[in-house]
Amino acid sequence: MKSMNIRAIIIAKGEVQRVGYRDVVERAARKMKLIGNVSNLKPYDVKIICEGDNKSIDSFIELIALKKYPVIVEHLDVKFEEATGEFDYFEIIRGDMTEELGERLDMANVKLTLMNEKQDVMIEKQDVLIEIVDENTSILNNFKNESNNNFNELTNVMIKHDVDAQERIATLKTEIIQIKERLSRLESAIA
C-alpha cells in the first residue's frame, strides 16, 4: 500500500539565514527523497516547500529542526496541504548573486571563527603539555645528574677498594713467600 503524498509548507525561524541552513535543508530533503524547494524569506526566515509521503516529511522535519551553532532553529511553522506534483526534484532557490555571495562569505567567516576558536583551545592545551614536558625533562635531568653522581661515587669506592684489595693481596703474597721460606728452612733444619 503506497502512502499518500502531501505537501508541507514550512517556515523556519531563528538563526537560519546566512549560516548555510538552506544547504542542510536541501541535503535532508534529498536524503528523504522529497521534492520541492527552499528559499530565504525576508527579513530573517527560511521558507521550505516539500512534497512526499507522510513518514518522509515527518523525518525531514526532525532533521531540519537544528540547534547546532551556527544554525539555531527556534521554531518551525508547518502547514500541510494536498500535494500538487509541480516539482521534479528538490532545489535551493537562490537570490541576487551579490546577496548569495555575501551569504557564502558570512558562512566562511562563521566556519573560520569556529576553527580559530578550536585552534586557540588546542594551542592552550599544547602550552600545558609543553609545560608538563619541560617539568618532566627537568625531573629527568635531575635524576640523570643524581645517578651520574652516584655512579661516580660508586666507581671511586670500587677503585679505592680495588687499590686496598691489591695492597692486601701484595701483602698476602709477601707473607706467603716469607712463610714458604721459613718452611723451607725448617724443613732443611729437620732433615
Whether residue 5 is predicted with pLDDT greater than 80 in this model: the reply is yes
Q: Cell numbers for 170, please give them.
A: 701484595
Nearest 5°: the CA angle 79, 41, 62 is: 45
Q: Cell numbers for 95, please give them.
A: 537570490
Q: Cell numbers for 59, please give them.
A: 523525518
Whether residue 10 is predicted with pLDDT greater than 60 in this model: the reply is yes
Whether residue 3 is predicted with pLDDT greater than 80 in this model: the reply is no
Confidence band (pLDDT; 50, 70, 90) for 38? very high
| Average pLDDT, rounded, for the chain | 89
How would you classify residue 52: left for phi > 0, otherwise alpha for psi between -120 and 50, otherwise beta?
left
Confidence band (pLDDT; 50, 70, 90) for 41? very high
Looking at residue 1, what is its pLDDT? 36
Whether residue 20 is predicted with pLDDT greater than 70 in this model: the reply is yes
Other C-beta atoms lying within 10 Å of the C-beta of residue 44: 13
Determine whether 69 is exposed, middle or buried from the number of CB atoms within 10 Å of its CB (0-12, 13-18, 19+): exposed
Whether residue 86 is predicted with pLDDT greater than 60 in this model: the reply is yes
SS3 96: coil
Pinpoint the alpha helices (H) of the chain.
21-31, 54-64, 97-190
CB 111 within 8 A of CB 55: no
Q: Cell numbers for 106, please give them.
A: 558570512
What average pLDDT score do residues 31-42 get? 96
Looking at residue 95, what is its pLDDT? 82
Highest averaged pLDDT of the listed ranges 35-39, 65-69, 138-142, 160-164:
35-39
DSSP state of 18: S
CB 38 within 8 A of CB 47: yes
Name the CATH code of domain 5-94 (choices 3.30.70.100, 3.20.20.70, 3.40.630.30, 3.40.50.620): 3.30.70.100
Q: What is the pLDDT of residues 118-168, one digit of tens each?
A: 999 999 999 899 999 989 888 988 888 888 888 888 888 888 887 788 888
Confidence band (pLDDT; 50, 70, 90) for 2? very low
SS3 142: helix
Q: Which helix (H) or strand (E) holds 72?
A: strand 71-82
